[in-house]
Structure 1
Amino acid sequence: MCSYKNNILQLAFGVVLGLSQGITQASDYVDVLDLPAKPSALAVRSPLLDVANAGQRLVAVGQRGHILYSDDAGQQWQQASVPVSSDLSAVYFSSREQGWAVGNDGVVLHSSDAGVSWKKQLDGREIGDLLVKHYSALATAEPGNEHWPLRVAEGQRLVEEGADKPLLDVWFADDKLGYVVGVFNLILRTEDGGQSWTPFQDRTDNPQNFHLNAIASIGDALYIVGEQGLVLKWDDAHQRFAALTTPYQGSFFGVVGKPGEVVVYGLRGNVLRSTDGGSSWQPFDSGLQVSVTAAAIDAQGHYRLFTQAGHMLVDQSNNARLQLMPQQNPSPVAGAALASEGSLILVGSRGARALRKE
């Protein structure tokens, strides 16, 4: 009887201890949007998703709020001060000093010191309210327009869902005008460097709300690519992103280009090139069935495209076929940028590495 009682007491004590530990852990919980990224000597080897140029400096972003910068073409990296621990998906600098990074939880970060330190400008807890306020004002101004109440309802849904609104890419024309894009046609525009944001969901030809995976300017044109063959181009006359017709209906992950030419790339090795501003497209034969996930233009002006398996493809002077280049210890590539001395810096699941110029 005594033994049975002891067992019951031990069980009860264990339950109470477990509950108290759970309460303590719950009280210690901090949202990743309020938790600064932790310094880590292993950050440069942790998953990184994008890399960009800030003048001659390189800045890379990745998981757990890691932002790294290098002033020696990727040989050494330092970790930036970041106020969040959300995974970051993209980074862009409009000048040497001014840069923005975006990622999960609708987070938008800004740096005014070339990527050394960052401040949060926006997060997913605010985005739903932005939509409700913006489209409610339009609904009041145009009571007969049935489109605006639908947008208000969309904003209310985002409010109820909480902060989970991944932003996938960012682009700025200068230190003031810029866009962030993300899942389910999420797109916001700023004209004051990120101090305020305007929803632009009604300014895209994307009625099915496909994900917007990437945004980039090629010459004077601004493009967005996304799911189901979606390619949008900014139409200045109509002040909206107009849909372009493409021969591929799978997802595109990125866009790159040079004067007179734009290239989009995505699932199953599909790469398309247009020399007439997106009016027509020609296949760029990769010879692969693996998704192309990153691209850059090398010091010789050639496209270099990279896959989720670590392949590297190079264009051969307007040849319709891309050449597969041998790689030592290939690893998945999520982003690429040209360093000032001509090497390519690649980031992916194994962190950052330099691909020295040939």
Structure 2
Amino acid sequence: MCSYKNNYLQLACGVVLSVLQSVSFAADYVDVLDLPAKTSALAINSPLSGMTRAGSRVISVGQRGHILFSDDSGQHWQQAAVPVSADLTAVTFPTATQGWAVGNDGVVLHSSDAGATWTRQLDGRQIGALLVKHYSDLAKAEPNNEQWPLLVAEGQRLVEQGADKPLLDVWFANDKVGYVVGVFNLILRTEDGGQSWTPFQDRTDNPQGFHLNAIASTGDALYIAGEQGLLLKWDESAQRFVAVPTPYQGSFFGVLGKPGEVLVYGLRGNVLRSTDGGQNWTALDTGLHISITAGLVDALGNYRLFTQGGQMLVSQGTGEQMHLVQQPTLTPVAGATQSADGRLVLAGSRGARTLPAESAQKAALEP
């Protein structure tokens, strides 16, 4: 009987202790959207997913809200002050000082000091309510339009599901007008530098709600690349992103180009090129069967594409032909830019690394 009582008391104590631990955990829990990114000497070696230039400064974003910047072409890095610890996916600076970064939980960050400090402009806790209000107003104005109630319902689902919808890319034309894009056709536009955002789900030819993986301008056109062969192009007269048919039905991870030429790239080494605004496409022979995950147009006007395995493909002037350039080390690449002195600065699962300017120049000239 005493043994039974002892066991019972031990069990009761265990239950009480478990409850107290749960209460303590709940009390200690802070949402990543409210938890500032921790400063860490190891941040430069942590996974990074996006990279860009802000004037001569190089900026990269990555896991746990890490944003790093370098003023010496990627040789040394400083960690920025960031108000969230959500994983970040992409970053852009349309000017030398004004920039935006996006990431998981629908977070949108803004910097006005070339990436040294950041403020939160939007997050996933607000996006659903934005959709509900915007499309409810349109439904009242156009009660016979069947599209609006469906989009109101979509916004309500986002509210109920919480702030877990990732934003995958961001692009700004200047310090006022820009877009953020993400999963399940999530897209918003701002015309006041992020002070307010307008849902754009009704402005995309994406009825199946495919993920929007990347948004970029070629100088004469604005494109969105997505999954299952989805490619959208901004139509100024229609004021919407219209579907551009492509011969590949796999996912695209990026788009880049110059006036008169556009390349889209994605799964299994696939790259498509068009010189007529997307009316016709040519599949390039990359010789690779690994996903291409980053790209840039360098200072010489050459295209450079990078894979998740660390390979680099380089064009010569146009994107008509690309050749593989041997790399000293093969580490996954998720983001890339070129520094002011010509170095290639790469972001990936092992942090940031650089290729010397002379190596970048030589690679562009190799046959």
1:285–1:320 CA contact under 8 A, matched in 2 = no
**Paired letter, 2:13:** F
Please show how residues 1-358 of structure 1 align to structure 2 within 5 Å. Answer: 2-318=2-318, 320-357=320-357, 358=359
Distance in 2 between the 1:5 and 1:75 partners?
67
Matched-pair contact (CA < 8 Å) for 1:128–1:158:
yes
Range moving further from structure 2, 173-182 or 321-330: 321-330
Distance 1:33 1:153 in 2: 25
Counterpart residue type for residue 169 of structure 2: D
Name the residue aligned to 2:365: none
1:38, 1:213 → 2: CA distance?
A: 28
Counterparts of 2:178 and 2:62, CA distance in 1: 21
User: How many angstroms apart in 2 are the aligned matches of 1:43 and 1:252?
Assistant: 29
Unaligned 5+ runs, structure 1: none
TM score, norm. by length of structure 2: 0.95
What is the identity, as a one-letter code, of the residue corresponding to 1:162? G
Query: Alignment partner of 2:334: what SS?
Result: strand
Q: Distance in 1 between matches of 2:87 and 2:210?
A: 21
- In structure 2, C-alpha distance between the alignment counterparts of 1:331 and 1:259, rounded to whole Å: 31
**What is the TM-score normalised by the length of structure 1?**
0.97
| Shift in Å, 1:4 | 4.9
State whether residues 283 and 320 of structure 1, in contact with CA within 8 Å, keep that contact through their aligned partners in structure 2.
no
Distance 1:244 1:25 in 2: 50
Preserved contact between residue 68 and residue 79 of structure 1 (Cα < 8 Å): yes
Give, in whole Å, the separation in 2 of the partners of 1:116 and 1:59.
9
Measure how far apart 1:14 and its partner are: 2.8
CA distance in 2, matches of 1:256, 1:193: 23
Deviation for aligned residue 1:315:
1.6
Distance 1:285 1:6 in 2: 74
* Residue type at the aligned position of 1:138: L
| Alignment-mate amino acid for residue 121 of structure 2 | Q
Alpha-carbon distance in structure 2 between the residues aligned to 1:2 and 1:143: 74
Aligned equivalents of 1:29, 1:170: Cα separation in 2: 29
- Which range is displaced more, 314-323 or 25-34? 314-323
Task: Report the secondary structure of 2:278's partner residue.
Answer: coil
The Cα of 1:119 is off from its aligned counterpart by: 0.5
1:312 Cα deviation after fit: 1.0
**1:276 match: secondary structure:** coil
Question: 1:28-56, CA deviations, whole angstroms, 9 ceiling, x for partnerless residues?
Answer: 11110000001011000000000010000
Task: Give 1:322 deviation, angstroms.
Answer: 2.1
Instruction: Name segments (4+ residues, structure 1) moved above 6 Å.
Output: none
CA distance in 1, matches of 2:211, 2:110: 23
How far is 1:284 from its partner? 1.7
Assess, with a 3 A threshold, how the Cα gap between structure 1 residues 319 and 261 changes in structure 2: closer, same or farther.
Answer: closer
Amino acid in the other structure paired with 2:163: A
Match of 1:159, SS?
Answer: helix
Shift of 1:311: 1.0
Opposite residue 54 of structure 2, the aligned amino acid is: A
Alpha-carbon deviation of 1:64? 0.4
1:147, distance to aligned residue in structure 2 (A): 1.1
Q: Point out the more displaced range, 63-72 or 281-290.
A: 281-290
Alpha-carbon separation, structure 2, partners of 1:249 and 1:155: 28
What CA distance in whole angstroms lies between the structure 2 residues aligned with 1:179 and 1:148? 21
| C-alpha distance in 2 between matches for 1:67 and 1:319 | 31
Residue 317 of structure 1 deviates from its aligned partner by: 4.6
Cα distance in 2 for partners of 1:98, 1:125 equals: 24
| CA shift digits 1:280-310 (9 cap, x unpaired) | 1111211111000001123332211111111
The Cα RMSD (Å) is: 1.3
Give the Cα separation in 2 of the matches to 1:285 and 1:171: 29
Q: 1:257: how far off?
A: 1.0
